Structure 1
Amino acid sequence: MAKKVMKIEPVRQKVIQQLRPKKRVCAYCRVSTDSTKQHTSYVAQVEYYKTYIEKRKDWEFAGIFADEAKSGTQVRKREEFLRMMKECENGNIDIIITKSVTRFARNTIDSIEAIRKLKSLGITIYFEKENISTISEQSEQMLTILSSLAQGESENISQNIRWGIQKRFRDGSFNLTCVAYGYTKNQDGELIIKEDEAAVVRRIYREYLNGKGSYVIARDLTKDNIPPVRTADKWSDCVVKDILHNPIYEGDLMLQKTYTTEVLPYTKKINRGEMPQFFIKDNHEPIITREQGEMVREILEYRRSQMGMDDRGKYQNRYKFSSKIMCKECGGIFRRQKIYIGKPYEKIQWSCKNHIENSKLCRTKPIREDSIKAAYLTMWNKLTSNYNIILNPLLDSLKNLRVSKEQEEEIENLNNRIMELTEQSHILSQVVQKGYLDSAVFIQKQNALNVEIEEIKKKRNSLLDNNGFETEIAGTEQLLEIIKYNPEIMDAYDENLFLHTVNKVLIGNSGEITFRLINNLELTEYADKGGGKA
């Protein structure tokens, strides 16, 4: 007897088409980094895609997302691409049109991940040049091949550039783009001394040789209102140490101190022997004598060995609390100190750097390291015993939170303002091209517009990043996972567990120790009491 089969038509798609008959279609492109060409390219592409999309009666124009064509190799550097992905996740886009696979991404992994994510959301990508649509089942294999070719092209270009730079290293013709503090360049690109900065360099070397540490030198430079190094926000011990380590002040030049990895994703790293370096002796006029440089290196080496550091300047026994402990009163970072040195009861304590400098400005007293460990042990055992009434409800609440209507309106207003300012920028560009506006006035107005656009983008992106509480959700899930595999009450402090669960430790002036966990939940214990509050 033949079986009777009845086909049930998909209701969801039918309902969606009835409620929203038109597909919302956007375009993604990359435009030139040159300011004049960028505006022309952007306007042309907006016109092209608007016309292209509006020809279809079943399509609705959903905007254009355009990144500057600096590099397509890393998705995380492309703000508009990431904004487009968020719009897709929020259900505001049905189809994406882009010129080609190379315009979408030159990193195979990023490209395929993005395509798969969009396919899982039911969003189609159409590549014009290759005439490929991701709606077809056979598209992924072809896209993988094309993305790999695009990635290979990007890597070949990068290798050619790297070869050219290394050739200039070898023959000594490389011109520094970023000149070290204390120097500037003449018309021929040669290094010459900048006397006002050179005087500060000489002072740093002189004071270090006289016994001052890098931290004290930085503090005194700040106190004397000396303008900081051009690449730094303020004087710090790290900035001072960089100056003390740099052979440029003895008249020598070390090239390729950093390098970029050869394959995607490109990463800039400090050259620790992985690549050749090029040393040019007596390249330019020195600021200090070679004798001064040699004596400084000897002192640096001695202090490094005394502090238990390796030849890379890293602590051999890294302090796990470093940079994690902060002051609740003034926001200062805590520094490690030894007390009762050489005595049987020698101890380690952590002190706020601002309290060390001036106890009147910060009242937070030093705290023993073993007190912090004991407080963490108590806090973690409480959390482990009560995670069902703390973490699980918290996770449910976070997942149910939604962005407010006011926040949605603010994001919309910011996007509209960005579009208005961008249009003003385009008009300015057209006016100056026709000779109706002086170049100096154009540059001034253009810079002002660019600054305002960047600030609005940062504000908008901050709102977008906070939408959904992703950090808090991911952190809470990770804590629950850790507790799942470590459910027992601990008898002793576990350093590895601390590093995986705590972002910051906040010390108050009344003995409270607050642990800010990886999900931004803050739990408090007390140094002098066995109990505590959460």
Structure 2
Amino acid sequence: MAKKITKIDPVKQQITLQLQPKKRVCAYCRVSSDSWEQQNSFTAQLEYYQSLIEGREDWQFAGIYADEARSGTKLKKRDDFLRMMKDCEAGRIDMIITKSVTRFARNTVDSIQAIRRLKELGIAVFFEKENINSLSEKSEQMLTILSSLAQGEAEGVSTNNKWGILKRFQDGTYIISTPAYGYTNNENGELIIQEAEAAVVRRIFRDYLNGKGTHIIAKELSEEGIPTICGAETWQAAVIKEILINPVYTGNLLQQKSLTTEGVPFKRKRNRGQLPQYLIEDNHAAIIPQEAANAVIDIFAYRRKQMGLDDPAKCQNRYAFSSKIHCGECGGIFHRQKIYAGKSYETIQWGCIRHIKNGEQCGQKSIREDVIQRAFAVMWNKLITNSDKILLPLLEMLKKLRIDEAQEQEIGACHNRIMELTEQVHILSRLAAKGYMDPALLIERQNTLAIELVAVKKKRNQLLDNNGFDREIAGTELMLELIRKNPHVIEKYREDLFLQAIDKVIVQKNGQITFRLINRLELSESCRKGGSTRWDKVI
């Protein structure tokens, strides 16, 4: 008996063309340096890909994502690459074209993870040089090999460079390309004093030894318009500290103070004993006497001990209000200040960093820490006594407003279509089981339904992801649980409740303190006399 063979034509391409007439194609370009030759290459890539994509009738130009002067070993620093991945997640791209695997990434792990994620989304990456489409069956093995080779090449270059630098460290021939502030290189690469900058260095050491802190020194230098290091806008306390502890100013050169990690992605870190350092004594003319430098180190050690900074546990989030208090006028972060230190009336206050640096940038006044604490206690007591009138209705409203009416209808339509398609699949299965349908026609129809089902589910998920109040709902539920565990009014400020309940504090210029809870609900208390809050007792 002759076998009956029926060809079942692919339906995916037909359905895709019906649902989306043109494939949305973008290009990704990258150059790893900002040299003139690379800039020309970068411009040429942009022009080439735009012309290529727009020249295809079945393609729709979805843009060009391009990172200039970005290393392929560090994915997080490639802004356009990350933006492209986000657009792929949002369903705006169907295909990516790039020059080669090395242009896409030199980090094997990042490259494969990105390609796999794009595969899950049904998005192809086409590598022109290697002629590889990431959606093909054998693409991943080949891409893994090529990405590993690209990463190996980058690591090999890095190893050779580090070996050469280390050799020059050991024989004392390493030439510093960017000398420390106060020095410059002569024609032989040797460090010589740059007098204008050296005068600033001497002043920094003198002021610190006379009792000024790094923050005050930085503020005064900025106010006087003294040129900064590397063209920065203002002097920073951290820069002043680096100058004070740098042995270069005593005529000694300490090399390999930082290191580059071995594997991709390469990261620059401070050398804290992982690698040997090389101290070259009497390498160049000193700006600061060794005795003055030793005295500075002793002061640093004393102040660290007094502030408890030698305890790592205390260094992490030293204060409950750190980074949480924001200025209602300029948006700046409030910093802690101690005034009248050592006096019986010593006070802790918090001030806007921009106002501290320059009163003309922000007119917000500082606020005492105890005022913020009492305002929190008042706000908390009002909240727990009215939680059934505030938080419970809010939770119900958030759940109802999770989606707007238009999107709710669209999501409902997607739900209905998914149910219809699922039911059609079941009907087909029952018909096939009873022999009422030709097997070839059954497979073709099932494939058609499966493709549409995936497309509708993807659309529904995007609608659900793009419009929700998950964070607000979760935060409100956590607030209710926190109140359930702490149902009684508090007589004074409690730091544990503040840390668990508050996301942000905004100090307004009108005398109000606004507390933004973890569910983004904002509650305000007045800190002015005669306002809604009395400071002589807690409500």
- Structure 1 length as normaliser, TM-score? 0.70
Residues 301/69 of structure 1: CA separation in 2 closer, same or farther (3 Å cut): closer
Which SS does the other structure have where 2:514 is aligned? strand
What is the correspondence of 1:98-137 to structure 2 with a 5 Å cutoff?
Answer: 98-137=98-137
**Preserved CA contact (<8 Å) 2:24 2:59:** yes
User: Is 30-39 or 196-205 further displaced after alignment?
Assistant: 30-39
- Alpha-carbon distance in structure 2 between the residues aligned to 1:358 and 1:54: 54
Q: Deviations over 1:28-51 (max 9, x none)?
A: 233463544235424554565567
Q: Given residue 338 of structure 2, which amino acid in structure 1 is its aligned partner? A: Q
- Alpha-carbon distance in structure 2 between the residues aligned to 1:167 and 1:376: 64
Q: Deviations over 1:265-300 (max 9, x none)?
A: 333222222222222222211111111111122222
What is the correspondence of 1:189-268 to structure 2 with a 5 Å cutoff?
Answer: 189-230=189-230, 232-268=232-268
- Alpha-carbon distance in structure 2 between the residues aligned to 1:398 and 1:183: 67
Residues 263/520 of structure 1: CA separation in 2 closer, same or farther (3 Å cut): farther
Determine the structure 2 residue equivalent to 1:174: 174
Q: How far did residue 17 of structure 1 move?
A: 0.8
Aligned pair partner of 2:395 in 388, 394, 416: 388
- Alpha-carbon distance in structure 2 between the residues aligned to 1:299 and 1:393: 60
Which SS does the other structure have where 2:181 is aligned? coil
User: Is 114-123 or 491-500 further displaced after alignment?
Assistant: 491-500
Q: How far did residue 259 of structure 1 move?
A: 2.0
- Alpha-carbon distance in structure 2 between the residues aligned to 1:148 and 1:228: 43
- The percentage of aligned residue pairs carrying the same residue is 50
User: Is 228-237 or 161-170 further displaced after alignment?
Assistant: 228-237
**Preserved CA contact (<8 Å) 2:395 2:476:** no
Aligned pair partner of 2:373 in 364, 370, 374: 370
Q: Given residue 370 of structure 1, which amino acid in structure 2 is its aligned partner? A: Q
- Alpha-carbon distance in structure 2 between the residues aligned to 1:520 and 1:247: 49
RMSD: 4.5
Determine the structure 1 residue equivalent to 2:533: 529
- Alpha-carbon distance in structure 2 between the residues aligned to 1:472 and 1:233: 41
- Alpha-carbon distance in structure 2 between the residues aligned to 1:56 and 1:355: 59
**Preserved CA contact (<8 Å) 1:334 1:351:** yes
User: Is 86-95 or 352-361 further displaced after alignment?
Assistant: 352-361
- Alpha-carbon distance in structure 1 between the residues aligned to 2:405 and 2:202: 55
- Alpha-carbon distance in structure 1 between the residues aligned to 2:319 and 2:243: 25
Q: Given residue 163 of structure 1, which amino acid in structure 2 is its aligned partner? A: W
Q: Deviations over 1:25-80 (max 9, x none)?
A: 33323346354423542455456556765786544554544433641112232233
Which SS does the other structure have where 1:230 is aligned? helix
- Alpha-carbon distance in structure 1 between the residues aligned to 2:227 and 2:85: 42
User: Is 238-247 or 219-228 further displaced after alignment?
Assistant: 219-228
Q: Given residue 366 of structure 1, which amino acid in structure 2 is its aligned partner? A: R
Determine the structure 1 residue equivalent to 2:508: 508
Which SS does the other structure have where 2:244 is aligned? helix
Q: How far did residue 301 of structure 1 move?
A: 1.6
Residues 166/379 of structure 1: CA separation in 2 closer, same or farther (3 Å cut): farther
Determine the structure 1 residue equivalent to 2:96: 96
**Preserved CA contact (<8 Å) 1:118 1:124:** yes
Residues 164/488 of structure 1: CA separation in 2 closer, same or farther (3 Å cut): farther
- Alpha-carbon distance in structure 1 between the residues aligned to 2:75 and 2:486: 42
What is the correspondence of 1:15-26 to structure 2 with a 5 Å cutoff?
Answer: 16-18=16-18, 20-26=20-26
Q: Given residue 533 of structure 2, which amino acid in structure 1 is its aligned partner? A: K
Determine the structure 1 residue equivalent to 2:334: 333
Determine the structure 1 residue equivalent to 2:164: 164
Number of equivalent positions: 458
Q: Deviations over 1:434-459 (max 9, x none)?
A: xxxxxxxxxxxxxxxxxxxxxxxxxx
Determine the structure 1 residue equivalent to 2:484: 488
Which SS does the other structure have where 2:287 is aligned? coil
The reply to whether residue 82 of structure 1 matches residue 85 of structure 2 is no
Q: Given residue 388 of structure 1, which amino acid in structure 2 is its aligned partner? A: L
Q: How far did residue 202 of structure 1 move?
A: 1.2
Q: How far did residue 115 of structure 1 move?
A: 1.8
Question: Greater CA radius of gyration, 1 or 2?
Answer: 2
Determine the structure 1 residue equivalent to 2:68: 68
Residue ranges of structure 1 left out of the alignment (5+ in a row):
1-7, 402-467
User: Is 509-518 or 290-299 further displaced after alignment?
Assistant: 509-518
User: Is 90-99 or 249-258 further displaced after alignment?
Assistant: 90-99
What is the correspondence of 1:317-328 to structure 2 with a 5 Å cutoff?
Answer: 318-328=318-328
- Alpha-carbon distance in structure 1 between the residues aligned to 2:195 and 2:9: 81
**Preserved CA contact (<8 Å) 2:347 2:368:** no
Q: How far did residue 305 of structure 1 move?
A: 1.3
Q: Deviations over 1:231-278 (max 9, x none)?
A: 543134333222222222111222222222222333322222222222
Q: How far did residue 393 of structure 1 move?
A: 6.0
**Preserved CA contact (<8 Å) 1:474 1:519:** no
**Preserved CA contact (<8 Å) 1:182 1:198:** yes
The reply to whether residue 271 of structure 1 matches residue 271 of structure 2 is yes
**Preserved CA contact (<8 Å) 2:249 2:287:** yes
Which SS does the other structure have where 2:254 is aligned? strand
**Preserved CA contact (<8 Å) 1:325 1:333:** yes
Q: Given residue 297 of structure 1, which amino acid in structure 2 is its aligned partner? A: I
- Alpha-carbon distance in structure 1 between the residues aligned to 2:59 and 2:380: 60
Q: Given residue 30 of structure 2, which amino acid in structure 1 is its aligned partner? A: R
- Alpha-carbon distance in structure 1 between the residues aligned to 2:518 and 2:275: 37
Determine the structure 1 residue equivalent to 2:284: 284
**Preserved CA contact (<8 Å) 1:307 1:315:** no
Determine the structure 2 residue equivalent to 1:408: none
Residue ranges of structure 2 left out of the alignment (5+ in a row):
1-7, 409-463
What is the correspondence of 1:408-423 to structure 2 with a 5 Å cutoff?
Answer: none
- Alpha-carbon distance in structure 1 between the residues aligned to 2:336 and 2:101: 51
Q: Given residue 488 of structure 1, which amino acid in structure 2 is its aligned partner? A: R
- Alpha-carbon distance in structure 2 between the residues aligned to 1:155 and 1:499: 44
- Structure 2 length as normaliser, TM-score? 0.69
Which SS does the other structure have where 2:304 is aligned? helix
**Preserved CA contact (<8 Å) 1:473 1:519:** no
- Alpha-carbon distance in structure 1 between the residues aligned to 2:27 and 2:358: 56
Q: Given residue 529 of structure 1, which amino acid in structure 2 is its aligned partner? A: T
**Preserved CA contact (<8 Å) 2:351 2:365:** no
Determine the structure 1 residue equivalent to 2:304: 304
Determine the structure 2 residue equivalent to 1:421: none
Which SS does the other structure have where 1:488 is aligned? helix
- Alpha-carbon distance in structure 1 between the residues aligned to 2:239 and 2:130: 51
Residues 295/498 of structure 1: CA separation in 2 closer, same or farther (3 Å cut): same
Q: How far did residue 16 of structure 1 move?
A: 4.2
Q: Given residue 371 of structure 1, which amino acid in structure 2 is its aligned partner? A: R
Residues 485/246 of structure 1: CA separation in 2 closer, same or farther (3 Å cut): farther
Determine the structure 2 residue equivalent to 1:37: 37
- Alpha-carbon distance in structure 1 between the residues aligned to 2:94 and 2:357: 59
